[in-house]
């Protein structure tokens, strides 16, 4: 890798990919960022910043000129979106535009950022892997479907002769989440809520105008797979350096139930907080009330109904391929969460 383009390079994951590339001594790193996107995370870094939009084909053509490797990390990640059309446009059509421009420009290698939500959720008691078939067709979860279709699209370019390598991260956390992303917002929401000692049936009464105030994090059955953003960035570079063309690599580290996760966040923040396991029917009522309030006020709910329904089935995954084939390693969860909490406190997102 001598001349590299990172789309979404001002974002949470993209910034860390840029930092890894520079630490590797890559001579020229170009970042494609939206015209009005903040470049705060890139301050002081020796990069070429190009403004444009992956929905504009001319911007894509201009961005890939002279590039030998493309890291396509640009995406729209929204847990709640009443009209998901823009998310499909960015994640699917934007991916086509970017990879088609790369193909025409003769870019030698593409590392595409997918997600574990672009794969299938494994059966209870089992770990999913890179070949677990997508299963969430019965749910209206636009982000998951958009990432599934964009992953398939990227892999089709590989089937047509391009060198495309796909990284599927788990839920990403860590420092530098300037947005914050929906994943990081979970940590913020967990730490903003207060302990709740009343009976579960009192929770709905405690909600003020449909807000989450006075309600603990929604702790129900289910769970997900979590990973440090710095480790995900490293897997991207390892996939470029050691990976194989037309191959997927899961980048994740810690499989936790929802209860285990909120307790881990509390420990990382050194806050003594009690959490209550909420029965699924009651949790569903709370989530629907939150979403109704969000629709009425134009705000975002602390938890969307689509994400809630998706997460009820544990999404636990194995990182064996990334470890064995790429030599990836992963930080302890406590380190990741402590660094994330410290970053959010510095930014003023939490007290």
HEC string of 43-79 equals CCCCCEEEECCCCCHHHHHHHHCCCCEEEECCCCCCC
The pLDDT score that the predictor gives to residue 301 is: 81
Q: What CATH code would you report for 3-173+227-253+316-331?
A: 3.40.50.720
The whole-angstrom separation of Cα 108 and Cα 266 is 45
Q: What is the DSSP-derived secondary structure letter of residue 34?
A: -
The whole-angstrom separation of Cα 54 and Cα 104 is 15
The pLDDT score that the predictor gives to residue 193 is: 64
Instruction: Mark residue 51 as left, alpha or beta (left: phi above 0; alpha: psi -120 to 50; beta: remaining).
Output: beta
The pLDDT score that the predictor gives to residue 196 is: 46
Q: Using alpha carbons, select from 217, 209, 234, 193 the residue that is nearest to residue 299.
A: 209
Residue partners of 307: CB distance under 8 A and separation at least 6: 79, 80, 141, 182
Q: Taking a C-beta distance cutoff of 8 angstroms, is the pair 10, 42 a contact?
A: yes
* φ and ψ at residue 83, rounded to 5 degrees: -115, 100
The whole-angstrom separation of Cα 4 and Cα 103 is 15
Q: Are strands 171-173 and 164-169 parallel, antiparallel or unpaired?
A: unpaired
Is 170 strand, coil or helix?
coil
Q: Using alpha carbons, select from 114, 322, 337 the residue that is nearest to residue 237.
A: 322
Residue partners of 148: CB distance under 8 A and separation at least 6: 117, 118, 134
Q: pTM of this prediction?
A: 0.93
- Ranges of each domain in the chain: 3-173+227-253+316-331, 182-220+259-311
Per-residue pLDDT of the chain (351 residues; tens, 9 = 90+): 999 999 999 999 999 999 999 999 999 999 999 999 999 999 999 999 999 999 999 999 999 999 999 999 999 998 888 999 999 999 999 999 999 999 999 999 999 999 999 999 999 889 999 999 999 999 989 999 999 999 999 999 999 999 999 999 999 999 999 989 988 988 888 887 654 444 455 555 555 555 555 455 567 888 999 999 999 999 999 999 999 999 999 999 999 998 899 899 999 999 887 777 888 888 888 888 888 888 888 888 877 888 888 888 889 999 999 999 999 999 999 999 999 999 999 999 887
Is 120 strand, coil or helix?
coil
The whole-angstrom separation of Cα 329 and Cα 334 is 15
The whole-angstrom separation of Cα 160 and Cα 110 is 13
* Residues 211-238 as b or e (16 or more Cβ within 10 Å = b): bbeebbbbbbbbbbbbbbbbbbbbbbbb
Structure tokens belonging to residue 60: 């894509």
Q: Using alpha carbons, select from 327, 284, 286, 109 the residue that is nearest to residue 202.
A: 286
Q: What is the DSSP-derived secondary structure letter of residue 331?
A: -
Which long-range contacts does 324-327 make (Cβ < 8 Å, 24+ apart)? 325/242, 325/243, 325/244, 325/249, 326/235, 326/238, 326/239, 326/242, 326/243, 326/249, 327/238, 327/242
Instruction: Mark residue 220 as left, alpha or beta (left: phi above 0; alpha: psi -120 to 50; beta: remaining).
Output: beta
Q: What angle do CA 184, 349, 280 make, to 5 degrees?
A: 50
Q: Taking a C-beta distance cutoff of 8 angstroms, is the pair 229, 13 a contact?
A: yes
Half-sphere exposure of 226 (CA within 13 A, CB side): 26
Burial of 52 by CB count in 10 Å (0-12 exposed, 13-18 middle, 19+ buried)?
middle
């Amino acid at each position: 890798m001598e001349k590299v383009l990172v789309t979404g390079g001002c974002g949470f994951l993209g910034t860390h990919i840029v930092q890894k590339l520079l630490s590797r001594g890559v001579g020229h790193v170009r970042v494609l960022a939206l015209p009005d996107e903040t470049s705060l995370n890139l301050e002081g870094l020796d990069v070429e910043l190009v403004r444009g939009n992956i929905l504009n084909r001319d911007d894509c053509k201009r961005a890939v000129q002279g590039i030998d490797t493309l890291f396509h990390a640009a995406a729209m990640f929204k847990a709640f979106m009443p009209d998901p059309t823009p998310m499909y446009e960015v994640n699917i059509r934007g991916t086509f535009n970017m990879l088609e421009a790369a193909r025409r420009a003769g870019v030698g290698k593409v590392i595409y950022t997918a997600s574990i939500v672009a794969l299938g959720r494994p059966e209870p008691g089992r770990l999913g892997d890179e070949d677990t078939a997508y299963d969430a067709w019965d749910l209206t979860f636009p982000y998951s479907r958009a990432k599934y279709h964009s992953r398939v699209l990227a892999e089709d370019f590989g089937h047509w002769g391009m060198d495309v390598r796909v990284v599927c991260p788990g839920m990403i956390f860590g420092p530098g989440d300037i947005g914050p992303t929906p994943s990081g917002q979970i940590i913020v929401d967990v730490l903003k809520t207060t302990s709740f000692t009343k009976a579960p049936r009192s929770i709905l009464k405690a909600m003020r105008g449909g807000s989450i105030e006075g309600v603990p994090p929604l702790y129900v059955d289910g769970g997900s797979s979590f990973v440090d953003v710095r480790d995900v960035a490293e897997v991207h570079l390892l996939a470029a350096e050691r990976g194989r063309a037309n191959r997927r690599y899961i980048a994740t580290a810690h499989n936790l139930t929802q209860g285990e996760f909120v307790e881990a966040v509390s420990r990382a923040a050194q806050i003594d907080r009690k959490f209550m396991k909420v029965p699924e029917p009651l949790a569903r009522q709370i989530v629907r009330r939150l979403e109704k309030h969000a629709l009425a006020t134009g705000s975002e709910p602390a938890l969307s109904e689509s994400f809630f329904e998706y997460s009820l089935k544990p999404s636990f995954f194995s990182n064996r391929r990334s470890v064995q084939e790429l030599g990836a390693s992963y930080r302890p969860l406590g380190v990741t969460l402590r660094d994330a909490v410290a970053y959010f406190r510095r930014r003023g997102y939490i007290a």
